Amino acid sequence: MANSNFVDYVKIHCTSGNGGRGSAHFRREKFVAKGGPDGGDGGRGGHIILKGNSQMWTLLHLRYTKHIKAEHGEGGSGQRSHGKDGADVIVEVPLGTVARDAETGEIMCEITEHDETHILLKGGKGGLGNDHFKSATNQVPKYAQPGEDGIQEWIIIELKLLADVGLVGFPNAGKSTLLSVVSAAKPEIADYPFTTLRPNLGIVSYRDNKSFIIADIPGIIEGAHEGKGIGLRFLRHIERNSMLLFMIPADSDNIKKDYSILLNELKQYNPELLDKERLLAITKSDMLDDELIAEMKQDLPDIKTVFISSVAGKGILKLKDEIWKKLNEPII
């Protein structure tokens, strides 16, 4: 079974706190018959806040959370005493988390740095006490403002993995096998399509103690941008990757055609994905001899290509070199 601990999508009903009512209190002391208004302001309602946590990799902790409510602000009181603000609710999320309005689909915020915070829903303002409304013509105002209501919304919280390299290919193209060889990640591997049902992350060690992060993303099928197969469940993860490593097996009937299909699916989903650096790896190439590789090179897509075999260890170091080169090319 796929690892059920990876959760990248939740929908939660959020309610920020109401503001507290202002006080309409009047000063009353033994020797002060008409002390005048001294009502304090109500406290602010609690906010709903997202906060980035670099030690988190999944939204698992929110899977069974259906409602989040912040505390209401307290009312003001005499002697111009301000009501207590309602407690905020801070929701910690992994880096790469995006919050959307469930009704409109509008992006409310993106969390990309550790300890970065964003107020999703503001608490209602506290009402003003009657002390604010005294004037030369109205020295005994008997009214104060009610607090503002909090906000209620359904919010979609989704995770887009932050990785240096995203693996792009059809199901059973060898993506999980490569990740298991070059990193300590242990994705499920089997000889049938859609073994990977959730993205996996792996840290790849490189020369001189350098490293980069690879995301193994469930395989693309034609029509994925329309939601076919696992479709939109994984395409969003590719948006955050610095570069894309396309993987097509050596026994493909038409490598150029397969590459074109993969590219088209990304284009249909988000044309900006085509602006990312790209590299092509021909997997399972341990079955090829030098003569056959030379012949295949005559009919490959116009993209830097590396022939590899994860099982035999063929071309893996060269692939790392090319990835590192792409990741560190100067931006012109």
| pLDDT score for 109 | 94
Higher pLDDT, 51 or 212: 51
Phi and psi at residue 8, in whole multiples of 5°?
-120, 10
Higher pLDDT, 275 or 154: 154
Q: What architecture is the 1-28+35-159 domain classified under in CATH?
A: Distorted Sandwich (2.70)
In percent, the amount of the chain with pLDDT more than 90 equals 45
Q: What is the mean pLDDT of residues 152-162?
A: 89
Entry pTM: 0.67
And the tokens for 117? Answer: 């915070």
Min mean pLDDT across 54-58, 95-99, 193-197, 323-327 is at 193-197
* Among the listed residues 187, 165, 197, the one whose alpha carbon sits nearest the alpha carbon of residue 8: 197
> Burial letters for 302-329: b for 16+ Cβ neighbours within 10 Å, e otherwise?
eeebbbbbbeeebbbeebbebbbebeee
And the tokens for 29? Answer: 């002391």
From the CB of residue 101, how many other CB atoms can be counted at a distance below 10 Å?
Answer: 14
Q: How confident is the model at residue 222 (pLDDT cuts 50, 70, 90)?
A: low
Sequence ranges of the domains in the chain: 1-28+35-159, 165-327
Distance of CA 224 to the CA centre of its chain: 20
* Among the listed residues 73, 182, 50, the one whose alpha carbon sits nearest the alpha carbon of residue 121: 50
Residues 6 or more apart in contact with residue 282 via CB below 8 angstroms: 248, 249, 250, 255, 296, 305, 306, 307, 308
Tell me which of 3.90.1150.10, 3.40.50.300, 3.40.1410.10, 2.130.10.10 is the CATH number of domain 165-327: 3.40.50.300
Please give the angle made by the CA atoms of 164, 6 and 108, to the nearest 5 degrees.
70
| pLDDT score for 225 | 45
Query: Which amino acid type is present at position 95?
Result: L
Q: Are 306 and 255 within 8 A, CB to CB?
A: no
Q: Which residue has the tokens 């490189």?
A: 206
Higher pLDDT, 206 or 237: 206
| pLDDT score for 211 | 87
Contacts 24+ apart (CB under 8 A), 314-319: 314/285, 314/286, 315/281, 315/285, 316/181, 316/182, 319/279, 319/281
And the tokens for 251? Answer: 């026994």
What's the rounded Cα separation, in Å, for the pair 229 and 224?
6
Higher pLDDT, 217 or 223: 217
183: left (phi over 0), alpha (psi -120 to 50) or beta: beta
| pLDDT score for 196 | 43
| pLDDT score for 54 | 86
Residue 216 predicted with pLDDT over 60? yes
> Burial letters for 102-135: b for 16+ Cβ neighbours within 10 Å, e otherwise?
beeeeebebbeeeebbbebbbbbbbbbbbbbbee
Higher pLDDT, 158 or 331: 158
